[in-house]
Structure formats: C-alpha cells, structure tokens
Amino acid sequence: MIVVRAFFVSSAVLLALLALSVPTIRPGSDTFVIAMLSFVMLGITLLGSAVCIYVGWDPFEELFG
C-alpha cells in the first residue's frame, strides 16, 4: 500500500508545482500543450491511486509483499 500512497503524494506535489507554473505559460504555446498533457497524466495517476487507496487494493502486493 505504501507504493500507491507514494504515487498519490508524488502526483499531488507535481500537480501543485505545475499549478504554480501555469500563470507564466502563454496559452497556445508548445509549453502550454505539454503542461496540459502533464496535467492530464498526473490527474489520472492521482485519481487512480486515490481509488486504490479508498478501495484498499494494492496492485503491488505480490511484488513487494
């Protein structure tokens, strides 16, 4: 379960840092597109790990058991 929590915390920290950088990015630029793609990928990771924590499922239990 610790791996899933690490995914959750690291995703939250990276999303917070990305949110801090958004005001400095010009909409429509290449950097803006990459930032939005990063936001989507980190958001999916955050939501997926939150669901795993809520349900109590540890997909890495067999590996790190």
Tell me the backbone φ, ψ of residue 58, rounded to 5 degrees: -115, 100
Compare 2 and 40 and report the one with higher pLDDT. Answer: 40
Helix (H) or strand (E) holding 14: helix 2-21
The pLDDT of residue 37 is 97
Tokens coding 48: 């997926």
pLDDT digits (tens, 9 = 90+) for 5-62: 999 999 999 999 999 999 999 999 999 999 999 999 999 999 999 999 999 998 888 8
Residue 2 predicted with pLDDT over 80: yes
The pLDDT of residue 16 is 98
Q: How far is CA 35 from CA 6, 10, 46, 47, in A?
A: 22, 17, 16, 18
Residue 63 predicted with pLDDT over 90: no
